[in-house]
Amino acid sequence: MPENYDAIVVGSGISGGWAAKELCEKGLKVLLLERGGPYDHIKDYKTAGKKPWEFEHRGETTSEQEEVRPVIHRSWGAQEQVIDAWTNEKDCPYIEDKPFNWWRSYRMGGRSILWGRQSYRWSDLDFAANGKEGVGVDWPIRYKDLAEWYDYVETFAGISGSVEGIKHLPDGKFLPPMALNCVEQDVAARLKKQYNGARHLIIGRVANLTAPIAGRTQCQFRSRCWEGCPFGGYFSSQSSTLPAAVATGNLTIRPWSIVRQVLYNKDTKKATGVEIIDAEDSKTYSFNSRIVFVCASAINSAWILMQSATDIWPGGLGSSSDQLGHNIMDHHYRLGASGKVEGYLDKYVFGRRANGFYIPRFANIGKDKRDFLRGYGYQGSASRQGWQRDVAELNIGAALKDELTEPGQWTMGMTGFGEVLPDHRNRMYLHATEKDKWGLPVPVMDAVLRDNENKMRISMANDAAEMLESVGLKEVHSWNNFHPMGDGIHEMGTARMGRDAKTSVLNGHNQVWDCKNVFVTDGASMASSACQNPSLTYMALTARAADFAFEELKKGNL
């Protein structure tokens, strides 16, 4: 294969897919590197057409699978349908100075196949918070810098949602919203009244098509998204960005390519390309390019930079500010509340909605002042209980079976998603001696929730229970369990953007301060975490950075 390209994109997940599409569509010859194997749209969605009874263990995983993927088995991702999607943790170890649940999927498309698809814009409440409060560093951008890019990526990806006019959760270019069910509709109305319009319960904004767009069929409400959708009903690299990139004729894809380092020329002070290890034959190869987009996910993007240009900077490319690998954030959850809903026994639903409701942030907005910084949102749903329910008054036999043959009563539950502050002490680094099977240094995780998050969590659980009680639910109970960092699957912040090269790794265009032709546009680049699901913002940042990089190339600045 050729060795020279205009651009190299590292990683094929949500950010890498966008980078490849944008750069290809501008006419650049692009090499897309993915450390995992091929995973073709539709053809490789092996389980997506299986009936529930065709799964040997009916969704459960085996002891052997647990041995290979113990971290995934700590949380809810260990399900028979998708177990092979998760990275083999024996081959790809990491070390936990502090507990860190790292959800990885090393194959084409990365976690874009598995993601939760919730898609929310940020606002200046989020972009301005660090600067106002003196936390971390001020974002070098504001909402106005990203608004048109949100429009752009939403239109292409296909985001369904309702227009609500909530200032701190800006409306977007939405496909028609999915429906709230009867209980959720009534609860939304009661909540609005109860809190004088300061709290909203809205349908989730989700990257599932509620109307067809070019080349893709609309969502069929099977709710099996993460097995891969044979209809292309939701946004993934496979369904969306990669076909667009391939259609230009400018894309070369190389799977099994573990990027070991960005190659750096100290005379020109620019990157010349990347060096990879082929995951299959373990040989080293080099590829050259004019620009490099690092979109390997927050931990791995930082890992690659740490491995690069170490003859100039011992901590790696972008380490001069002492921020590389630091400020790991996530969204903290594993808490919430649920309860029983009286009535509505003459109502039911049809179809499996791969979505729920969203209660946007209300804490520390307007008069709602708290003893912690920032805030949280909730995701949840109301539904009638299924056969899994425990029927306390029935033990076994025909009566139990008859009871379970019908839907049970309505219940409603929700989970909070809280903002994590950037903190220099929360970091990942390369282990000095431990190597993986390719001889590559193993990353070490050293990050925890701290005072602000722990204070916030108490309010998150209490507010959830209080809201459910206030709208009339019965037997409400809340929970607040230990949240290991990473378990929110929103790890970010390891190469933050900023206004000053002394305190950040990237500038306002996701350019590495120390090496202008290297861009990092995935979660690594985040200066704060907000509490909204971050992927839509990664898409917008990536498209914006790709546009900037192309213009700079044209001007001869890179």
Partner 1 sequence: MDRRSALQRVALLMGGTVVGAELFLSGGCKTAPKGVADLFSEDSISLFSEIAETILPATATPGAKAAGVGEFIPVMVRDCYSPEEQKAVLDGLLDMDKRCNETYKKGFMDMTAEQRTEFLTVLDKEQREYQKTVVEPKLKEIRDAKMSGSAAGQPNKDNNAAATATTAEPADPVPHYFRMIKQHTMLGFFTSKVGATEVLRYVEVPGKYEGCIDYKKGDRAWAT
Q: Which residues in 327-386 contact partner 1 (CB under 8 A)?
A: 345-353, 384, 386
Q: Which is nearer to partner 1, 451 or 500 (CB)?
A: 451
Candidate residues 147, 440, 442, 501; the one interacting with partner 1 per rule CB under 8 A: 442
- The structure tokens 């997506």 sit at 48
| 3-state SS assignment for residue 444 | strand
Could you give the string, one character per residue 169-188, with x where binding to partner 1 holds by CB under 8 A and - elsewhere? ---------xxxxx-xx---
Q: Which is nearer to partner 1, 57 or 132 (CB)?
A: 57
Chain centroid to CA 52: 27
Cβ–Cβ < 8 Å for 382, 341? yes
For 153, half-sphere exposure in the C-beta direction (CA atoms, 13 angstrom radius) is 32
Minimum distance of partner 1 from residue 433's CB (angstroms)? 8
In 112-160, DSSP assigns E strands to: 159-160
Q: Which is nearer to partner 1, 27 or 49 (CB)?
A: 49
Question: Would you count residue 84 as binding partner 1 (CB under 8 A)?
Answer: no
Minimum distance of partner 1 from residue 331's CB (angstroms)? 18
Q: At what angle do helices 451-470 and 182-194 cross, to 10 degrees?
A: 110
| 3-state SS assignment for residue 21 | helix
Candidate residues 47, 81, 84, 98; the one interacting with partner 1 per rule CB under 8 A: 98
Question: Would you count residue 395 as binding partner 1 (CB under 8 A)?
Answer: yes
Minimum distance of partner 1 from residue 112's CB (angstroms)? 23
Minimum distance of partner 1 from residue 182's CB (angstroms)? 4
Candidate residues 44, 79, 93, 141; the one interacting with partner 1 per rule CB under 8 A: 93
Candidate residues 25, 44, 84, 89; the one interacting with partner 1 per rule CB under 8 A: 89
Q: In 3D, which of 180, 179, 182, 178 has the Cα closest to residue 346?
A: 182
Q: At what angle do helices 535-554 and 14-25 cross, to 10 degrees?
A: 30
Tell me the backbone φ, ψ of residue 453, rounded to 5 degrees: -65, -45
Cβ–Cβ < 8 Å for 337, 476? yes
Candidate residues 2, 134, 249, 397; the one interacting with partner 1 per rule CB under 8 A: 397
**Distance of CA 520 to CAs 153, 203, 299, 495, Å?**
18, 32, 12, 8
Question: Would you count residue 407 as binding partner 1 (CB under 8 A)?
Answer: yes
Q: In 3D, which of 513, 498, 527, 541 has the Cα closest to residue 318?
A: 513
Q: In 3D, which of 470, 476, 491 has the Cα closest to residue 339?
A: 476
Minimum distance of partner 1 from residue 13's CB (angstroms)? 21
| 3-state SS assignment for residue 178 | coil
Strand partners, 414: 337, 380
Candidate residues 27, 37, 70, 215; the one interacting with partner 1 per rule CB under 8 A: 70
Minimum distance of partner 1 from residue 498's CB (angstroms)? 27
Cβ–Cβ < 8 Å for 294, 549? no
Question: Would you count residue 477 as binding partner 1 (CB under 8 A)?
Answer: no
Q: Which is nearer to partner 1, 16 or 408 (CB)?
A: 408
Minimum distance of partner 1 from residue 442's CB (angstroms)? 5
4-10 and 30-33 strand pairing: parallel
Question: Would you count residue 36 as binding partner 1 (CB under 8 A)?
Answer: no
Q: Which is nearer to partner 1, 179 or 501 (CB)?
A: 179
Within 8 A by CB and 6+ apart from 213, the residues are: 158, 175
Q: Which is nearer to partner 1, 279 or 518 (CB)?
A: 279
CA distance 450 to 455: 9
Q: Which is nearer to partner 1, 42 or 312 (CB)?
A: 42
Q: Which is nearer to partner 1, 93 or 508 (CB)?
A: 93
Q: How many residues bind partner 1 (CB under 8 A)?
A: 74
Minimum distance of partner 1 from residue 391's CB (angstroms)? 11
Minimum distance of partner 1 from residue 68's CB (angstroms)? 9
Minimum distance of partner 1 from residue 81's CB (angstroms)? 12
CA distance 85 to 92: 14
Minimum distance of partner 1 from residue 219's CB (angstroms)? 8
Q: What sign does the CA torsion over 139, 140, 145, 151 have?
A: negative
Candidate residues 63, 144, 311, 555; the one interacting with partner 1 per rule CB under 8 A: 63
Residues 196-225 within binding reach of partner 1 (CB under 8 A): 220-223
CA distance 20 to 245: 6
CA distance 315 to 325: 10
Question: Would you count residue 48 as binding partner 1 (CB under 8 A)?
Answer: no
Q: In 3D, which of 87, 46, 38 has the Cα closest to residue 65?
A: 87
Candidate residues 2, 53, 283, 367; the one interacting with partner 1 per rule CB under 8 A: 53
CA distance 224 to 78: 15
| 3-state SS assignment for residue 381 | strand
Candidate residues 4, 268, 284, 481; the one interacting with partner 1 per rule CB under 8 A: 481
Cβ–Cβ < 8 Å for 397, 404? no
Residues 452-471 within binding reach of partner 1 (CB under 8 A): none
Minimum distance of partner 1 from residue 71's CB (angstroms)? 5
Q: Which is nearer to partner 1, 94 or 417 (CB)?
A: 94
Q: Which is nearer to partner 1, 60 or 371 (CB)?
A: 60
Minimum distance of partner 1 from residue 295's CB (angstroms)? 24
